[in-house]
Amino acid sequence: MDLDTLAQQFLNALQLGSLYALVALGYTMVYGVLLLINFAHGDIFMFGAFIGVFGAFVLGLPFLPTLLLSMIITALLGITIEKVAYKPLRHASRLSAVITALGVGLLLENGMLALTGADPRRYPDNFFAASVTIGDTTLELSVRIVIIAVALILFLCLYYIVQRTKWGMAMRAISYDKFAVPLMGVSQDRIITLTFVLGAGLAAAAGILWGVAFTASLSPYMGLRVGWKAFIAAVVGGIGDIRGAALGGLLLGFVEIFVVALGSPIGISSSYRDLVGFALLLVILVVRPTGLFGVARRQKL
């Protein structure tokens, strides 16, 4: 493999990994706050991508406004799901909520298929302006670089919110002690709402970027595999920690791309991608059961 291909593959991996990371962030935040594996999250990602179709074709919006619109609408969906399906179960067994999440996921993907039909969809050809004009010079931008940049900016925004704002700190605090936070004058409901807003918003952005990156992939079931994989990425990173989710996502992206890139010359078919990827993640979990950033909590006797 020459240096140029290596660089290309590196970009591919970074692109795929940052998309996984954006989805994984939503998993990890919801888990951190509610201890709920939100299995509907992959389908929220799908919903975001579909809102992109709506924004681009029906409203005729360009890329960035579509992205924002999708993030807002999908965030509303996230809040609705939380209020309708998860909130009533907050005091029931944890598993009832997980099963409800599975149900919500199935409902979203099949509902979307039932209501919109099975026509193949993709974004308009001129949707993503890959050039920026500054003064007289026109800068051609690679799609991948923009995707990576958008993902990075979103991650930094999130990191700022979580690390520096009062709400973000409350969000982190609640995963340690859910009874203490309300005592500090921060409403638990609001934090949960914020968590779903952020998680769903990021998932929506990932959905649109995904549709831009892999043009023929918009389908009601697109969130299924991506969702499961992002969940695994979140766990490998150490579920509950946003740096972990980002790292886990990137790691998964790199493993998947490079299994194919390095494997094909030596006769490993690309269909081994999932096998190797997941096996590697299992190995990490065996070595570090709490994930890369996870901290083992001592069980009190």
Instruction: Give the interface with other proteins as residue ranges (CB under 8 A).
Output: 37, 50, 53-54, 57-58, 85, 88-89, 92-93, 95-100, 102-107, 110-122, 124-125, 224, 228, 231-232, 235, 239, 269, 271-275, 278-279, 281-282, 285-286, 289-290, 296, 299, 301
Strand partners, 132: 139
Q: Closer to other proteins at the Cβ: 93 or 131?
A: 93
Rounded to the nearest whole angstrom, what is the least distance from the CB of residue 124 to other proteins in the complex?
7
Q: Closer to other proteins at the Cβ: 117 or 265?
A: 117
CA distances to 32, 241, 247 from 291, rounded to whole Å, are 14, 10, 11
Residue 28, C-beta contacts closer than 8 angstroms, at least 6 positions apart? 234, 237, 239, 240, 241, 242, 244, 245
Q: Closer to other proteins at the Cβ: 134 or 287?
A: 287
Q: Closer to other proteins at the Cβ: 7 or 59?
A: 59
Rounded to the nearest whole angstrom, what is the least distance from the CB of residue 172 to other proteins in the complex?
19
Nearest-5° Cα angle at 297, 295 to 301:
165
Chain center to CA of 195: 13
Q: Closer to other proteins at the Cβ: 168 or 227?
A: 227
Going by C-alpha positions, the residue among 293, 180, 281 that lies closest to residue 242 is: 293
Rounded to the nearest whole angstrom, what is the least distance from the CB of residue 279 to other proteins in the complex?
6
Going by C-alpha positions, the residue among 124, 105, 132 that lies closest to residue 227 is: 105
Rounded to the nearest whole angstrom, what is the least distance from the CB of residue 278 to other proteins in the complex?
4
φ and ψ at 165, to 5 degrees? -90, 160
229-239 per-residue burial string, b: 16 or more CB within 10 A, e: under 16? bbbbbbbbbbb
Rounded to the nearest whole angstrom, what is the least distance from the CB of residue 104 to other proteins in the complex?
6
Rounded to the nearest whole angstrom, what is the least distance from the CB of residue 283 to other proteins in the complex?
9
Collapsed DSSP state (helix, strand, coil) of residue 131: strand
Q: Closer to other proteins at the Cβ: 213 or 256?
A: 256
